[in-house]
Chain A
């Protein structure tokens, strides 16, 4: 059951066997979350530090819950309230933390590749919780777990990712993971949101939402990052909604229902309408529950032997 990877930097290059092990183990851990006492002693004595250099609600809470459900000791660190504001360098901050004997570090950082840099100067298991616009592997794993739960297998599944692909670490990790698992991936969004040369990742691209919906078994709808407004990438939220918003009206033209996913937080009425996000075909809240289970699985598989 040992994974071939020692850290989870991203899903690029992670073999199918590892992803299978992570997802299978995650289904076993999810059962723990349904018990009266939602805690197991599996990682007793393992210390995890959650290093968050960027704001996060659900990812941080989800990791923290996963760690606590496994009986690990957790320490939280957020950049805003740290010595970084006194001028200490990242490297010094981290080396001081690790002088206190940490086993695992979960890090979110705005700079792509920062997790790999971290691995060079600390001896700990490193889990990427989002590095800039690069990767967000645990989100992609929980997305894949939710798809596997619904369809049994990812092989041959048609997945459309809709929205701001260019700035999305969720999209990139999903593409790597889904391609490894044999799914067909289609990207859809306005040209300003599709990275140049996206086809080289083995995916198809369309600028037409109806075409994407026609293709898809599952749509993974990305959040429109409001902070990117006014930078000339989309004319307005209203126009984005008119052209790329997933609405009941568009879905009702399809011959079959498709599964709706969203990594959150949702801008209701922009990238997806409320009635779609809350419909019986939406698995958005399953994704959140599966997120805790998938993080428990990764923590066990990477740190269980320590």
Chain B
């Protein structure tokens, strides 16, 4: 599978600004941080969740608890894929009952990952609400799911992909739109 670069959606500075804005929006909408917990979806959602939490901690002077969620056990597609996906550790070190859970992922596309994530969270208890943060919304939803906080809306076609690279896993921060030819 080869791909062709189409455009540069964000660089390091743009990403930093976007995270700052999202952090402020979250605090404003949740009316503070007391009942709020942040949960990142593996892999890059986890890094984003931690960056958002740090930003909120700096702004509000409080400690924010972050959980990590792996959605593979709840997915509906591993039976139709050739490779069985690896199951990584889920770590939600707090009680979710009555909390506002802010779910974080890098890209929203069909919405199936978020469906799996919501099913998973319900098995941890009864949150008072679940909200969704995504860095990029690329459209093409297959389920009635919508993000509450969006870094950037990027209309895409089916043969395009959004590549999110982050320092924690890829050595640098950038978001690219590429065209994939199978």
Residues in A lying within 8 Å of B, measured CB to CB: 1-2, 21, 24-25, 27-29, 31-32, 35-37, 39-42, 300-301, 304-306
A2 and B123 contact, CB distance less than 8 A = no
A301 and B84 contact, CB distance less than 8 A = yes
A306 and B79 contact, CB distance less than 8 A = yes
Instruction: Report chain B residues within 8 Å CB of A305.
Output: 78-79, 81, 84
Instruction: Report chain B residues within 8 Å CB of A25.
Output: 86-87
B84 and A37 contact, CB distance less than 8 A = no
B73 and A41 contact, CB distance less than 8 A = yes
A37 and B89 contact, CB distance less than 8 A = no
Instruction: Report chain B residues within 8 Å CB of A41.
Output: 73-74, 119
Instruction: Report chain B residues within 8 Å CB of A29.
Output: 87
Residues in B lying within 8 Å of A, measured CB to CB: 70, 72-74, 78-79, 81, 83-91, 119-120, 122-125
Instruction: Report chain B residues within 8 Å CB of A304.
Output: 78-79, 84
A28 and B87 contact, CB distance less than 8 A = yes
Q: How far, in whole Å, are A25 and B78 apart by their CA atoms in the complex? A: 15
CB distance from A1 to the nearest CB of B (A): 4
Known A28-B90, A29-B87, A304-B78; further 4 A-B contacts with Cβ < 8 A:
A28-B89, A32-B73, A35-B124, A41-B74
Query: Residue of B at shortest CB range from A29?
Result: B87
A40 and B79 contact, CB distance less than 8 A = no
Query: Residue of B at shortest CB range from A2?
Result: B84
Q: A35-B124, A37-B124 are in contact. Are A28 and B74 (CB under 8 A)?
A: no
Q: How far, in whole Å, are A306 and B78 apart by their CA atoms in the complex? A: 9
Instruction: Report chain B residues within 8 Å CB of A32.
Output: 73, 90
A1, A31, A37: the one contacting B91 at CB < 8 Å is A31
CB distance from B90 to the nearest CB of A (A): 5
Instruction: Report chain B residues within 8 Å CB of A35.
Output: 123-124
CB distance from B3 to the nearest CB of A (A): 24
The 8 tightest CB contacts between A and B, nearest first, are: A37-B123, A40-B73, A1-B86, A28-B87, A42-B73, A1-B84, A28-B89, A304-B84
Q: How far, in whole Å, are A222 and B120 apart by their CA atoms in the complex? A: 39
Instruction: Report chain B residues within 8 Å CB of A31.
Output: 89-91
Q: How far, in whole Å, are A32 and B120 apart by their CA atoms in the complex? A: 10
Instruction: Report chain A residues within 8 Å CB of B119.
Output: 41
Instruction: Report chain A residues within 8 Å CB of B73.
Output: 32, 40-42
Q: How far, in whole Å, are A35 and B74 apart by their CA atoms in the complex? A: 15
Q: How far, in whole Å, are A32 and B88 apart by their CA atoms in the complex? A: 12
Instruction: Report chain A residues within 8 Å CB of B89.
Output: 27-28, 31
Q: How far, in whole Å, are A2 and B89 apart by their CA atoms in the complex? A: 18
Instruction: Report chain A residues within 8 Å CB of B91.
Output: 31
Q: How far, in whole Å, are A35 and B83 apart by their CA atoms in the complex? A: 28
Instruction: Report chain A residues within 8 Å CB of B88.
Output: 28
B87 and A300 contact, CB distance less than 8 A = yes
Q: How far, in whole Å, are A36 and B92 apart by their CA atoms in the complex? A: 12
Q: How far, in whole Å, are A304 and B91 apart by their CA atoms in the complex? A: 22
Query: Residue of B at shortest CB range from A305?
Result: B84
B70 and A40 contact, CB distance less than 8 A = no
Q: How far, in whole Å, are A27 and B88 apart by their CA atoms in the complex? A: 8
Query: Residue of A at shortest CB range from B97?
Result: A36
B73, B87, B120, B123 — which one has the most chain A CB atoms within 10 A of its CB?
B87
CB distance from A14 to the nearest CB of B (A): 17
CB distance from A8 to the nearest CB of B (A): 15
B70, B83, B123 — which one has the most chain A CB atoms within 10 A of its CB?
B123
Instruction: Report chain A residues within 8 Å CB of B90.
Output: 28, 31-32
B74, B78, B87, B123: the one contacting A36 at CB < 8 Å is B123
Q: How far, in whole Å, are A36 and B127 apart by their CA atoms in the complex? A: 13
A39 and B79 contact, CB distance less than 8 A = no
Q: How far, in whole Å, are A37 and B72 apart by their CA atoms in the complex? A: 17
